[in-house]
Structure formats: C-alpha cells, structure tokens
Amino acid sequence: MKAWQHFCTINHHKMLVMKSCFRVGLYRQGLLHDMSKYSPSEFLVGCRYYQGDRSPNNAEREIKGYSAAWLHHKGRNKHHYEYWIDYGLGKDEGIVGMKMPVKYVVEMFMDRIAASKTYQKENYTDAHPLMYYEQGAAKLGSMIHKDTAALLHKLLKMLAEEGEDKTFAYIRKNVLKKGF
Ligand SMILES: [Zn+2]
C-alpha cells in the first residue's frame, strides 16, 4: 500500500489545478476539483495500484478488466467529458457526449495541463497538452460533443502557440464571460 505517496500525488495535482482555476476566476471548482479521490472507493484503489508514472486506474483496469475507481470518479466529476455521456436526443443517435457547460470545459483544460506537467516533469512544454489531445482525439468519435471538442482544441492550440498568460486571460475575458 502506497497510501502516503498516493495522498501526496492527489494533493499535488489538486494544488496545480487550483492555482490555474484561480487565475481564471473559477474559485469553487478550483477548491473542489477531484474531491472524490479522497473517498474510500477511489482512494483505496489508488493506494493498491499506485504507479508513480501513470494513473493507478490503468493498472486496475489491466488486472480486473475494468476500473471501479474510474467508473466512480467519472460519474461524479463534471470536468470529465465521460460524465456527460448520455442517450442522444435523435432517434438513431445511441449513446453520445452531451454539450458540456463552458466552466467545466475550462476545468478539463486545466486538468490536462496539470497532468502533462506531472507526467512530463522537466520535459513539459506548453505544446504538450495539445500533442497529447491530438493523439487521442480521433478515437473519441461521438463520445465528446463537437462544440465541447472544438473549444477544448482551440484552448489547447492557443496554449501551445501563445502560452499560459495569454490563454488564461482569454479564458477569463472571453470564454467564461459569454459562456455562462
Ligand atoms: Zn478528475
């Protein structure tokens, strides 16, 4: 059991996301980000499958065939597009990603920056979160709403090209003001 290491990993991640969220005025989300990771359903699994260099959910998934911790997590945290997967309104649509409120798209963006920083360490650059997203985007299909995907992609591109200060200012002044 790597309880202490896992506890520190969660705190470190929450601290990174909180700082970024505060910079764009998302105080409540900054404070409450990923709170369910402290619940027994997620915390104990995180300790048992602690990896250090990747998510313990991946290890749990490989061993059990599914990750109970992740299913618990994505059902409770609105900054994950997986939270918003539901039956589409169209008759033949099946299960699709619904359009996410903009404030959660921004929190998802901050979450991705924090994860890239943690896993890349000194190799991190502002272009990394975009690269990571583009590698996986094609596989998402209709599981993420097209407007949600477009906004996330736009912010990631802006980050890669113009850096945090400009992108965060744009989010504060343009994205969050209009989106609510
Ligand atoms: Zn999360």
Q: How many CA atoms lie within 13 A of 55 on its CB side?
A: 14
79 CA from centroid of ligand 1 (Å): 7
Going from the Cα of 94 to the center of ligand 1, the distance in angstroms, rounded, reads 25
Residue 180 has pLDDT above 80, yes or no: no
**Would you say residue 1 has pLDDT above 80?**
no
Compute the distance from residue 158 Cα to the ligand 1 centre, in Å: 23
Q: 29: CA distance to ligand 1 center in Å? A: 11
Q: Give yes or no for a contact between 36 and 42, defined as CB atoms under 8 angstroms apart.
A: yes
More confident call, 121 vs 163: 163
Centre of ligand 1 from the C-alpha of residue 35, in Å: 8
Angle among Cα 68, 70, 74 to the nearest 5 degrees reads: 125
Q: Read off φ and ψ for residue 97, nearest 5 degrees.
A: -80, 130
**pTM for the predicted model, two decimal places:** 0.94
**Alpha carbon of 91 to ligand 1 centroid (Å):** 31
102-120 and 3-23 are packed helices; what angle lies between their axes, rounded to 10 degrees? 130
pLDDT of residue 137: 87
Q: Which of 6-10, 118-122, 153-157 has the lowest mean pLDDT?
A: 118-122
Candidate from 18-22, 72-76, 135-139, 166-170 with smallest mean pLDDT: 135-139
> Which residues have a beta carbon within 5 Å of ligand 1, which is an ion?
34, 77
* 3 state DSSP class of 152: helix
Q: How far apart are the C-alpha atoms of 21 and 154, rounded to whole Å?
A: 18
* 55 CA → ligand 1 middle, Å: 11
